[in-house]
Amino acid sequence: MFGYGKMANYAIASLSYLAANYETEGFKANSQTIATARNLSRPLVGKLMSQMSTAGLVNGTPGPGGGFYLSRAPKDITLLEIVKLFEKIEEALMCPFGPGWCGNGDPCPFHYELEDKRDEMMAWLSNTNLEVFTNHPVKPEKGFDAEAV
């Protein structure tokens, strides 16, 4: 209801690797390198990077020595921008009772609290950018297998 799904999560994880290495001059990473660093499958990362390249979040260079790199500075790419590529984010409140409850008479018992939580999540996604990863590289727990999750 308020969060984002696995694809958006994996996209953020993939881009966090590029953000963590953004300051390294000429840094590019191929799908396999990103997949290994974030313990994701290479085909999944390849698909994500292709979508993010089309959306203008990353640029790619084909061939030997090629790879992906952020198209803009990490501070200029918000989590909301990433999540919107993979999730349908509704501004409207999603009532757990379904259509026809809220807005017809009194709101449901959860309405105002859900509205606040949705607004908090949207604000957090809008105000958080990839720069948080530039000084805080993320590494998986030793032996962690993302495919098993």
Determine the 3-state secondary structure of 27 from DSSP.
coil
Distance CA 3, CA 125 (A): 10
* Angle between helix 42-54 and helix 31-38 axes, rounded to 10 deg: 120
Which pLDDT tens digits describe the chain residue by residue (149 residues)? Answer: 456 789 999 999 999 999 999 999 999 999 999 999 999 999 999 999 999 999 999 999 998 889 999 999 999 999 999 999 998 776 555 677 766 666 667 777 888 888 888 889 889 999 999 999 987 666 655 555 545 44
pLDDT score for 4: 77
Question: Which string of b and e fits 88-109 if b means at least 16 CB within 10 Å?
Answer: eeeeebebeeeeeebeeeeebe
CATH numbers and ranges of domains, the chain = 6-139 (1.10.10.10)
Cα Rg for the chain, rounded, in angstroms?
Answer: 18
Q: What is the structure's pLDDT at 140?
A: 59
Of 63, 64, 69, the closest CA to residue 49 belongs to 69
Backbone angles phi, psi at 137, to 5 degrees: -60, 145
